[in-house]
Copies of this chain bind each other. A is one copy, B any other.
């Protein structure tokens, strides 16, 4: 399959230029004005072509609970999440399709699904997500969410005696699960990867974390985990290790240029130096950090220290959407209130680069995707600049990042294969998906979590909140 996008706007060094872009098979083979037409012709007039963005951290099954969890911090929010998690692989399949669809509709061509597993049906969960991503054609990193400690262990003790039940699984069991799922589903050549992704130091033993590093080394896999999302996690790491969580992960060999770390809100200067030195990637999830009151990640410090930063939507129960352009907008402008010197503020062009090349680097794909470059794979998105939400026409990248476009994506390609055309998905029937989601909805609108009250007393005591 070859095609030529004719007369399309692309970003140049500091402005724009109008060019033809040719793709042969999976890769970009030519970018220049007025090329000899080759293959299918795509009209590029009044359109902007950008590299696809990476939704570098999400949890697809959370779609089933979006809009429904109370405004509480992460530790209590998790209690509600787990009390009402979906329990059928069919639901996982639908929410993976839905997550991928919203990602594509907002300019993403790749996602990292930190996939919540149905207890006892773990392989089926992974199979359902893999099936969905193959069908819709998005580049997907399935990162099964594994742990070997139960939820109550994620709170700092504050010196209070706790009665924590052991977790359903041991480190050995979950590592075997990942090994099997890599053997069965890891097919990076067709765009589906499976990677070790421990929940985070707050819920994992060293044995589990080291096992993940070993798997990553043996199969050349990326690593993904949550890191210091909340102040409670910072306190817990100090209790547990007597050092920061970053220093501990570094000691275990977990950090490196294949490692991406979701959140990174509560890091210290010395932690930032470790991330820079190890070439680890921070995944910034600004909307869930606000929704859960986790804090504002020190993104300007990361950028100034040379740490690679990508954007994620996070799961749809803590955002509660999967719109990458929203995450990019808020993740860019949020930090302006933390530094009066506007010369450090993120420009729309920087934001676009973080969302595309930054995301690619975090998945060790910086040489393969993330920019419109000869020889790179064609993961790219064509925006219609005549859409009402992008009018009047001014600076197209400024409008995309700082505005609020809806349905501005005209076409999208992953690995050179078209997955959107004329504003519609070409691989999946959205109307059918919409009907299935409606049919499977359970309107538990007045739910009471059993776990939340059990954790709340401990949480308020440790965090110094008056009852």
Chain A contacts to B: CB under 8 angstroms: 14-16, 63-73, 76, 98, 101-102, 231, 287, 289-296, 316, 319-321, 323, 326, 330, 333-334, 336-337, 339-342, 345-348, 386-404, 406-407, 430, 433-434, 437-438, 440-446, 463, 465-466
Task: Name the B residues within 8 Å of A73 (CB-CB).
Answer: 340, 342
A443 touches B393 (CB 8 A): yes
**Given A65-B394, A391-B441, A434-B391, are A406 and B403 also a contact pair (CB < 8 Å)?**
no
State whether B292 touches A336 (Cβ < 8 A). yes
A188, chain B: closest CB distance, angstroms: 30
Residue of B nearest to A391 (CB): B437
CB contact under 8 A between A293 and B392, given known A398-B67, A404-B323 = no
In the complex where A388-B430, A394-B444, A434-B386 touch, is A67 in contact with B296 (Cβ < 8 A)? no
Residues of B within 8 A of A293 (CB): 336-337, 339-340, 342, 345
Query: A404 and B321: CB pair below 8 A?
Result: yes
Please name the residue on chain B nearest to A394 by beta carbon.
B68
* A337:B290 contact, CB within 8 angstroms: yes
Chain B residues near A401: list those with CB within 8 A.
67
Q: A291-B402, A386-B438 are in contact. Are A394 and B67 (CB under 8 A)?
A: yes
* Cβ contact within 8 Å between B336 and A395: no
CB-CB under 8 A from A430, the residues of chain B are 388
C-alpha gap A290/B67 in the complex (Å): 24
Q: A68-B394, A342-B71 are in contact. Are A321 and B444 (CB under 8 A)?
A: no
Complex Cα distance, B343 from A76, in Å, reads: 12
A465 touches B323 (CB 8 A): no
The 5 closest A-B pairs by CB, nearest first: A67-B399, A293-B336, A67-B398, A321-B404, A406-B406
> Does B326 lie within 8 Å of A404, measured CB to CB?
yes
What's the minimum C-beta distance from A394 to chain B, rounded to whole angstroms?
4
User: Which residues of B lie under 8 Å from residue A396 when comparing CB positions?
Assistant: 67, 445
Q: Is A438 in contact with B296, judged by CB distance below 8 angstroms? A: no
Chain A binding surface SS class: loop
Minimum Cβ distance to chain B for residue A435 (Å): 9
Residues of B within 8 A of A319 (CB): 402-403
Nearest B residue to A231 via CB reads: B340
Q: With a CB–CB cut-off of 8 A, which chain B residues contact A441?
A: 391-394
The answer to whether A321 and B445 have CB atoms under 8 Å apart is: no
Instruction: Say yes or no: A71 contacts B394, CB within 8 Å.
Output: no
Most buried by B among A287, A333, A386, A445: A333
Q: Which residue of B lies closest to A445 (CB)?
A: B395
In the complex, are the beta carbons of A337 and B391 less than 8 A apart? Answer: no
CB of A78, distance to nearest CB on chain B (Å)? 13
Distance in angstroms between the alpha carbons of A319 and B403 in the assembled complex: 7
Indicate which residue in B65, B326, B394, B440 contacts A66 across the interface (CB closer than 8 Å). Answer: B394
- Residues on B with C-beta less than 8 A from A394 are 64-68, 441, 443-445
Residues in B neighbouring A395, C-beta threshold 8 A = 67-68, 445
B392 touches A437 (CB 8 A): yes
9 further A-B contacts with Cβ under 8 Å, apart from A66-B394, A71-B347, are A63-B392, A71-B336, A292-B336, A293-B345, A294-B337, A340-B463, A388-B430, A392-B437, A394-B443
19 A-B pairs, CB-CB below 8 angstroms? A14-B446, A15-B446, A66-B398, A67-B348, A67-B401, A67-B403, A71-B336, A71-B346, A72-B342, A294-B337, A295-B337, A296-B337, A326-B326, A387-B434, A388-B430, A391-B437, A392-B437, A392-B438, A394-B441
B291 engages A67 (CB within 8 Å): no
CB distance from A20 to the nearest CB of B (A): 21
A465 touches B66 (CB 8 A): no
Q: A337-B295, A391-B438, A438-B393 are in contact. Are A445 and B15 (CB under 8 A)?
A: yes
In the complex formed, the residue of B with least CB distance to A290 is B333
Closest chain B residue to A321, Cβ basis? B404
- Chain B residue with minimal CB distance to A319? B402
- Nearest-CB distance from A365 to chain B (Å)? 27
State the CA gap A296–B240 with chains docked (Å). 35
Q: A64 — which chain B residues lie within 8 A by C-beta?
A: 392, 394
State A289–B66 Cα separation when bound (angstroms).
Answer: 27
